[in-house]
Copies of this chain bind each other. A is one copy, B any other.
Amino acid sequence: MNRNNIRTVVFLLMIVAAGTTTLALAQMKPEDAIRARQSIMHVMALNFGPVAGMAQGKVPYNADVVKRNSAFLDNLSRMAWDGFDPSTKDVKSAALPAIYEQQAKFREAAARLENEAHKLWEVAQSGDEAAVKAQIGAVGKSCGGCHESFRQKQ
């Protein structure tokens, strides 16, 4: 590895606590945790956009893209949550205080997205277009349900 890259890796290691092998967002500085969770959410949106368009008939249906993006969403849906660490509470972002005041409800909403995204991945393997489109709607609903209670209106 060259020097520039080693510097990058050293920086990255600062975010990896010894012994942990998760993304470990909760162990970052609050600003870094927020940037991480926002990046993850944004990449989710980038992947959900095209499949949402397919479910609404605004983008031609493409089973391969659904398979790829749903596998991606299945993974991404599990990554961001520990970035909503209480240490980030007082840093300005679109996250509402309700996240920290109603943690059980927030975790439930997060788990709903994880479950719906995982189901979408499963249904995508079947090739049943109608079932896939219905499940894309369910994923969208779980995004919106959580945003409704826990994110500042955009």
Taking beta carbons and an 8 Å cutoff, which residues of A are in contact with B?
1-2, 4-9, 11-13, 15-16, 18-25, 35-36, 38-40, 42-43, 45-50, 52-54, 56, 58-60, 62, 65, 68, 71-72, 75-76, 79, 137, 140-141, 143-145, 147-148, 153-154
Residues of B within 8 A of A52 (CB): 9, 12-13
Q: How near does chain B come to A30, taking the closest CB pair, in angstroms?
A: 16
Known: A43-B39, A52-B9. Is A141-B2 also a contact (CB below 8 A)?
Answer: yes
Main secondary structure of the interface of A (DSSP, over half): helix
Say yes or no: B50 contacts A22, CB within 8 Å.
yes
Say yes or no: B4 contacts A60, CB within 8 Å.
no
Sorted nearest first, the 9 A-B pairs with minimum C-beta distance are A5-B144, A12-B49, A39-B42, A39-B39, A21-B65, A21-B62, A9-B52, A16-B53, A2-B144
Known: A19-B59, A50-B23, A52-B13. Is A8-B40 also a contact (CB below 8 A)?
Answer: no
Residues of B within 8 A of A11 (CB): 154
Q: How near does chain B come to A67, taking the closest CB pair, in angstroms?
A: 11
CB<8 Å pairs between A and B, sample of 5: A8-B147, A9-B140, A38-B39, A40-B46, A71-B71
When chains A and B are docked, how far (Å) is the Cα of A11 from the Cα of B53? Answer: 11
When chains A and B are docked, how far (Å) is the Cα of A79 from the Cα of B2? Answer: 24
Say yes or no: B144 contacts A16, CB within 8 Å.
no
